[in-house]
Amino acid sequence: MLLGKIRVSQVCFMLTLALFFATSLIIFNQIYLTSKMVVDEEFHFPLGISYCNFNFLVWDPKVTTLPGLYLVSALLMGPLKLCTPYWMRFVSLLFSLFNVILFHKLFRKNERNEWRNILSSITLALLPPLYFFSNFYYTDVVSLTMILLMMVANEKKRHYSASTFGLLAVICRQTNIVWVGLVAVRYVLAELFTFTKLKQHERGIPAKDVYTFLRRLVKRPLRVLENSNVQFWLDTLAYSVTLGLFVLFLKINGSIVVGDKTAHQATIHIPQLFYFSIFCLIFAWPHFVGEILNFIAFAKTHKLLISIATIVCLVIVFTNTLVHPYMLADNRHYIFYVWNRFYGKFVLFKYAMIPVYIFAWYVIIKSIYSRHDISFVTFYLICVSAVLASQKLIEIRYFFIPYILFRLRIKTNTNSVFNIVLEFVTYVVINCITLNLFFTKIITWSRYEDPQRLIW
């Protein structure tokens, strides 16, 4: 009977994948007929096509990322001689389909019910901004695939593969080094924890054992390492090679950005964390609504903490709200309208949002926290801060990986199926609206002959 259920669920998943691909292909073709090039594709297409034709000696100084996307295009489409803008975009569509499979594998860690797993996987693949960019030749979808492959390999304790996929992720987008660091540090600490003999079978660091673990590690590091094995050192070396190669790249390049360095300089922009919390609140709203009363109760019990958090947020918003020139100049992105009609138009709006930020972060932290493993929430917060708070430009695409890591950690049960359904319906509705705007709204730019379109 159990075997029958497994087979039925597997067939259902395959049918879901087929439906996802068939529907996406129809949308993909309609998008291509509507617009042959959007925004940054004018930089990506020439390089992708050149690499696809195995010409690796060309480069555009306006491109900020390493050539991972173009190398993948060369590998997939080069041998088939499919080196046209259509097939370059098709690379993203293929990887978006592959991402559904990877979501399915990763959800299994927290989701034992196969049917909820399938629903959650297809829903996350439909995340509106991510799904939208699966139709264009951008780095986001391929970059995400490499991160997911790294995480799957890490879960299966295949650390050589995990470090290799981590390196590929960095070649797609340099900031992915932060997520490689997250996986590497958590692996090393988890292994060191087992070497302390505190708990033999834990795959994380329980909150109640953190102090004892750190004390033993600091006071008697050699004794802890005496319990290590050769495999630990080989696995650690694999991650270290990837991290070391990135440090070498930084030394040679002089910056994390490859090209257009003047427009993409690292800076301190803490409000990015606030904007990310709103992104999470909007796209995971069914999982947030049920926490409203809990947050109110928490705020009443911890008045001092909430007061301090509010004051800190007020100071940050007042002193550190930055506006990148690109955001004010490019009316082809939704963030242009959000900023100009709300944040930039009403002086008090950015302050009025502070209670929302605090609530959103309360739910995010509560969702990813586990007393059985304190390492994830700790290093997740550090990594998210490193990735986002160093960017001046508010770009929705920067939120993809942090959001997906957060969403993968949300535990579901029978009562929360309704939340997943609501999430699915929300994504479908938003995708329909944004696609309709893309097809119907024309934006005229004097420097382009073809009409421009509204994108995320």
User: Of 227, 258, 289, which residue sits at a domain end?
Assistant: 258
pLDDT value at residue 387: 95
Residues 281, 254, single domain; the answer is: no
pLDDT value at residue 70: 97
* Type of residue found at 312: V
If we measure between CA atoms, which residue out of 250, 267, 230, 271 comes closest to residue 356?
Answer: 271
Please give the chain's pLDDT, 456 residues, in tens: 444 556 788 889 999 999 999 999 999 999 999 999 998 999 999 999 999 999 999 999 889 999 999 999 999 999 999 999 999 999 999 999 999 999 999 998 877 788 899 999 999 999 999 999 999 999 999 999 999 999 999 999 999 999 999 999 999 999 999 999 999 999 999 999 988 876 655 578 999 999 999 999 999 888 889 888 999 999 999 999 999 999 999 999 988 988 777 766 789 999 999 999 999 999 999 999 999 999 999 999 999 999 999 999 999 999 999 998 888 888 999 999 999 999 999 999 999 999 999 999 999 999 999 988 999 999 999 999 999 999 999 999 999 999 999 999 998 766 688 999 999 999 999 999 999 999 999 998 988 888 999 999
b/e map 192-201, b = 16+ CB within 10 Å: bbbbbeeeee
Spatial CB neighbours of 54, under 8 Å, sequence gap ≥ 6 = 74, 78
pLDDT value at residue 361: 98
Q: Are 141 and 99 in contact (CB under 8 A)?
A: yes
pLDDT value at residue 204: 81
Q: How far apart are CA 96 and CA 145, in angstroms?
A: 8
pLDDT value at residue 1: 47
Q: Is residue 427 part of a domain?
A: no
Q: How far apart are CA 239 and CA 110, in angstroms?
A: 25
Residues 92, 159, single domain; the answer is: no
Q: Are 408 and 106 in contact (CB under 8 A)?
A: yes
Residues 134, 44, single domain; the answer is: yes
In 10 A of CB 274, how many CB atoms? 22
- DSSP 3-state percent helix, strand, coil across the chain (nearest 5): 70, 0, 25
How many structural domains does the chain have? 3
Residues 247, 308, single domain; the answer is: no
pLDDT value at residue 450: 87
User: Of 234, 258, 282, which residue sits at a domain end?
Assistant: 258
Q: Is residue 431 part of a domain?
A: no
Residues 358, 276, single domain; the answer is: yes
Helix (H) or strand (E) holding 413: none
Q: Is residue 447 part of a domain?
A: no
Q: Are 103 and 121 in contact (CB under 8 A)?
A: yes
Q: Which tens digits make up the pLDDT trace of 294-328? A: 999 999 999 999 999 999 999 999 999 999 888 88
Full-model pTM: 0.93
Q: Are 13 and 97 in contact (CB under 8 A)?
A: no
Residues 118, 150, single domain; the answer is: no
Residues 250, 367, single domain; the answer is: no
Residue with tokens 């391929």: 142
Q: Are 375 and 190 in contact (CB under 8 A)?
A: yes
Domain hosting 32: range is: 1-138
pLDDT value at residue 415: 63
Residues 19, 63, single domain; the answer is: yes
Residues 300, 250, single domain; the answer is: no
Q: Is residue 426 part of a domain?
A: no
Q: How far apart are CA 326 and CA 305, in angstroms?
A: 37
Residues 280, 367, single domain; the answer is: yes
In 10 A of CB 15, how many CB atoms? 11
Q: What separation, in Å, do the N-terminal and C-terminal C-alpha atoms of the chain show?
A: 46
Q: Is residue 361 part of a domain?
A: yes
User: Of 138, 168, 185, which residue sits at a domain end?
Assistant: 138
Q: What phi-psi label fits residue 447: left (phi over 0), alpha (psi between -120 and 50 degrees) or beta?
A: alpha
Distances (CA, A) of 328 to 129, 173, 272, 390, 434: 20, 25, 16, 19, 21
Spatial CB neighbours of 293, under 8 Å, sequence gap ≥ 6 = none
Q: Is residue 103 part of a domain?
A: yes
In 10 A of CB 444, how many CB atoms? 8
- Per DSSP, the residues of 294-333 read HHHHHHHHTHHHHHHHHHHHHHHHHHH----HHHHH-TTB
**124 by DSSP, 3-state: which?**
helix
pLDDT value at residue 161: 97
Residues 289, 179, single domain; the answer is: no
Residues 84, 154, single domain; the answer is: no
Q: Is residue 433 part of a domain?
A: no
Report CA Rg, the chain: 23
Number of residues that this document lists for the chain: 456
Q: How far apart are CA 140 and CA 401, in angstroms?
A: 9
Q: Is residue 28 part of a domain?
A: yes
